[in-house]
Amino acid sequence: MWGGRFSGSLAEHMRLFNDSFPIDRRLWAEDIRGSIAWANGLERAGILQADECQALIAGLRQVSQEFEEGLFLPLTSDEDIHTAVERRLGDFIGALAGKLHTGRSRNDQVATDTRLWTLGALKLADDLIRDVQAALLEQAKAVGDAILPGYTHLQRAQPVLLSHALLAHFWRLDRDRQRLHDATKRVSVLPLGSGALAGTAFAVDRAALAAELGFASISQNSLDATSDRDYIVEILAATALLGVHISQLAEDWIIWSSAEWGFVALDDAYSTGSSLMPQKKNPDSLELARGKSGRLIGNLVTVLTLLKGLPSAYDKDLQEDKAPLFDAIDTLSLTLPVVAGAIRTARFNTERMAAALDDAMLATDVADELVRRGVPFREAHHIAGRLVREAEQRGVGMRQLPAESFVAAHPSLTDVAGLFDFARSVAMRDVPGGTAPNAVRDQLIAAQHVLAEG
Ligand code: ARG
């Protein structure tokens, strides 16, 4: 492809080092789409005759068919997907294939192919995340008004609805989808026509190319366009954060599934055993999901590091952008369906959750009640705290303290029995976004809307 000015050939290990075909071969469909559009562009610019353009396109379709059927046989001289497609086109249509690369460089070609591929990947990622959200929503609906001890610092804090705790993860995932969606407008920018760095010397209508390939806009600067990988960084940042969110979800559920908690049991389909300990049932699905976040974070760091310090325009370093991008999408394709399946098939033990609620988790409700009876909150907090300590010293639940203790703590604290009710505590938090069954019903409707929007 570029041998004219060379008298020697590449060292064998250099050839292997330089070849990107094993990785970028998966861009074959995008490469051929881009080449068909380019041929049409050259014809419109008067560089190709109509019959030449038709012959090129017919040949490209033959190459496409070979890839589609898994019959494409790479040669060692196929350095990357671009040279492989052009070489095979030549096998089919002869010397005319040599006209296709007029005014084009692999620099604007690979940028175009990768962006086209990424647009498809964004759609796939959106569908995958949406399905995890759907699984969370299904479970949130199925568990009704079951109450769970809510934790902060992994210490029992206040009762919350289980559905509320499940939906907390729904909204994180929703922001992940928004971030990926938002990146689309920066992905959907056509670099083709930028040439190697300076723009093409032929009068190709770039807007028409963009329209044919489905790009929303065209790049404004050829030096920038051939080296812009910002959109990859953005997507890898969004998928890294998504990986972190999935890891956090997994962590909640792994804790809940231990014998000490016993709030949830994963289905056998998403658990594995131990080769040594016969009793073990391990939440491997979620542990692996938690672990995969490491790759997703790593991919972001790889590309940021790759870009740092590059001089303007294309450098071969940029060939290293695709493995992390592909890996991120592959990792999501493996991980998210498993996570959705593990969520859908899990069974909650609401009795265990109820048994894990203790009266001290209602201390805030006691303080709030004092506030309603006219005590400033800071003082109320102190009084409720003393009652917690007294119950602890006597080794009883707060509700078992004698009436005198409450009155001694504050004279207004008569008639407190009704306070020691977890359902009441939850129902009191009836603000939008709160954990009251009323509020959570609105939240479920909002979540439903989000999913229905697409
Ligand atoms: N395989 C290369 C890549 O992925 C294509 C562009 C090569 N350009 C070049 N000037 N050698 O980046």
Return the DSSP state at 282. Answer: B
Checking if the pLDDT of 323 tops 90, the result is: yes
Q: CA-to-CA distance for 235 and 184, rounded, in angstroms? A: 9
Instruction: Write down the catalytic residue from 7, 9, 13, 153.
Output: 153
Instruction: Give CATH for domain 359-453.
Output: 1.10.40.30
Which pLDDT score, from 0 to 100, does residue 59 have?
Answer: 98
At position 403, the amino acid (one-letter code) is A
Distance 319 CA to ligand 1 centre (A): 6
Q: Is 106 in the pocket of ligand 1 (CB under 6 A)?
A: yes
Please check whether residue 23 is in contact with residue 326, taking contact to mean a CB–CB distance below 8 angstroms.
Answer: yes
For residue range 17-66, list pLDDT tens digits in order. Answer: 999 999 999 999 999 999 999 999 999 999 999 999 999 999 999 999 99
Distance 314 CA to ligand 1 centre (A): 8
Q: CA-to-CA distance for 257 and 264, rounded, in angstroms? A: 5
Which pLDDT score, from 0 to 100, does residue 365 have?
Answer: 96
Residue with the two structure tokens 């080296």: 227
- Residue among 26, 110, 116 whose CB has most ligand 1 atoms within 8 A, to mutate: 110
| Distance spanning both ends of the chain, measured CA to CA | 45
Which pLDDT score, from 0 to 100, does residue 281 have?
Answer: 87
Q: Which helix (H) or strand (E) holds 37?
A: helix 28-44
Which pLDDT score, from 0 to 100, does residue 317 have?
Answer: 98
Q: CA-to-CA distance for 253 and 197, rounded, in angstroms? A: 51
Q: CA-to-CA distance for 277 and 268, rounded, in angstroms? A: 16
Distance 216 CA to ligand 1 centre (A): 24
Mean predicted lDDT score pLDDT of the chain? 97
Closest among 365, 384, 376, 347 to 422, alpha carbons compared: 365
CA–centroid distance for 257 within its chain: 24
Distance 349 CA to ligand 1 centre (A): 56
**Strand 217-218 and strand 189-190: pairing?**
parallel
Q: Is 24 in the pocket of ligand 1 (CB under 6 A)?
A: yes
Find the mean pLDDT for residues 351-374: 96
Q: Is 80 in the pocket of ligand 1 (CB under 6 A)?
A: yes
Which pLDDT score, from 0 to 100, does residue 277 have?
Answer: 84
Helix (H, G, I), strand (E, B), or coil: what is residue 263? coil
Checking if the pLDDT of 408 tops 90, the result is: yes
- Residue among 87, 101, 319, 326 whose CB has most ligand 1 atoms within 8 A, to mutate: 319
Checking if the pLDDT of 1 tops 80, the result is: no
Checking if the pLDDT of 107 tops 90, the result is: yes
Residue with the two structure tokens 């231990």: 258
For residue range 265-297, list pLDDT tens digits in order. Answer: 999 999 988 888 888 889 999 999 999 999 999
Closest among 21, 257, 249 to 135, alpha carbons compared: 249
Which pLDDT score, from 0 to 100, does residue 3 have?
Answer: 77
Q: CA-to-CA distance for 341 and 267, rounded, in angstroms? A: 9
The answer to whether residue 105 is catalytic is no
Which pLDDT score, from 0 to 100, does residue 2 have?
Answer: 72
Helix (H, G, I), strand (E, B), or coil: what is residue 151? strand
Burial 166-184 (b: 16+ CB within 10 A, else e): bbbbbbbbbebbebbeebb
**Domain boundaries of the chain, sorted by first residue:** 11-102, 108-142+161-353, 359-453
108-142+161-353 folds as: Fumarase C; Chain A, domain 2 (1.20.200)
Find the mean pLDDT for residues 336-359: 97
Which pLDDT score, from 0 to 100, does residue 14 have?
Answer: 97
Which pLDDT score, from 0 to 100, does residue 57 have?
Answer: 98
Q: Is 443 in the pocket of ligand 1 (CB under 6 A)?
A: no
**Other beta carbons within 10 Å of 160:** 23
- Residue among 81, 222, 316, 318 whose CB has most ligand 1 atoms within 8 A, to mutate: 316
**Other beta carbons within 10 Å of 200:** 22
- The domain 11-102 having CATH identifier 1.10.275.10: the answer here is yes
Nearest atom within ligand 1 for CA of residue 24? 4
Checking if the pLDDT of 305 tops 90, the result is: yes
Q: CA-to-CA distance for 444 and 442, rounded, in angstroms? A: 5
Closest among 189, 36, 191 to 119, alpha carbons compared: 189
For residue range 194-236, list pLDDT tens digits in order. Answer: 999 999 999 999 999 999 999 999 999 999 999 999 999 999 9
> What does R_g of the chain's alpha carbons equal in angstroms?
31
Q: Which long-range contacts (CB under 8 A, 24 or more apart) does 182-187 make?
A: 183/122, 183/231, 183/234, 183/235, 183/238, 184/119, 184/122, 185/216, 186/230, 186/231, 186/234, 187/115, 187/118, 187/119, 187/122, 187/231, 187/235
> Percent of the chain at pLDDT above 70?
100
Burial 131-147 (b: 16+ CB within 10 A, else e): bbbbbbbebbeebeebb
For residue range 234-253, list pLDDT tens digits in order. Answer: 999 999 999 999 999 999 99
Q: Which tokens hold the place of 40?
A: 């049409």
Return the DSSP state at 3. Answer: G
Find the mean pLDDT for residues 296-314: 98
Q: Which helix (H) or strand (E) holds 354?
A: helix 350-355
Checking if the pLDDT of 454 tops 80, the result is: no
Nearest atom within ligand 1 for CA of residue 314? 10
Q: Which tokens hold the place of 126?
A: 């959106």
Which pLDDT score, from 0 to 100, does residue 8 have?
Answer: 86
Q: Which stretches of 189-274 are assigned E, i.e. beta strand? A: 189-190, 217-218, 264-265
Question: Hey, CA dihedral for 424, 425, 426, 430, is it positive or negative?
Answer: positive
The answer to whether residue 153 is catalytic is yes
